Amino acid sequence: MTTEHAVPPPPNPPPQAGEGSILPLPQRGGGPGWGSIHLFLLALVLLIPPARAAEPLPVAVLELDYADTSGEPGDTRQLHAARLAHFTEALRADLAKSGKFKVVTPSCDPAPCAAGTADPSDLFAHARQAGARFMILGGVHKMSTLVQWAKVQMVDVVDDKVVLDKLVTFRGDDDEAWSRAENFIAGEISAYPAGG
């Protein structure tokens, strides 16, 4: 003779897949007050201020210098001046787009603000007056028909020290080659630690 015994259900059956919460709420009339704990945790989460994004670092991107010692025939000064101006503007735009930097514009008299035409102490003073924490300067040097160098430094104008120094070699002398070099340099500068 066999007898069957009914097994009583657990006081709080576990939630089925896809329903319930991590901590099941007690059934009516019992439990240690999980509902109160849930309300407390929800209130605590709502009181914690959201994380603030780091403030963009103010940076002055000076006009870059250009030198051509390739010995190529023909006068390409206007072409290279236009490419250099585009390179500098694209660098400013990419740094601003990164969200890590806020580009400020120093005012130099006589213009332009460039390392090759102004006294370094004046450049530091103009960058500080514009509210910059950092100043980017440098230039492009065409060595031969196929090879150019782009040298860029980022200087902390508050602590008077170079914090980033990049020398990039790039091949070609067309818009695409200049654009690739600018993109690479913008990425290198944007990778600079926010804490300085």
Ordered by where they begin, the domains of the chain are: 57-190 (3.30.160.180)
> What pLDDT, on a 0 to 100 scale, did the predictor assign at position 36?
63
| CA–CA separation, 6 and 31 (whole Å) | 24
The pair of three-digit structure tokens given for residue 73, joined into one six-digit string: 């025939």
The reported pTM is 0.72
> What is the rounded average pLDDT of the residues 122-133?
96
| CA–CA separation, 190 and 57 (whole Å) | 11
Q: How far is CA 78 from CA 3, 81, 85, 94, in A?
A: 103, 5, 11, 24
Give CA 130 to chain center in angstroms: 20
Is residue 18 predicted with pLDDT exceeding 80?
Answer: no
35-78 pLDDT per residue, tens = 666 565 555 556 665 555 679 999 999 999 999 999 999 999 99
Between 31 and 137, the more confident residue is 137
> What pLDDT, on a 0 to 100 scale, did the predictor assign at position 14?
53
> What pLDDT, on a 0 to 100 scale, did the predictor assign at position 111?
86
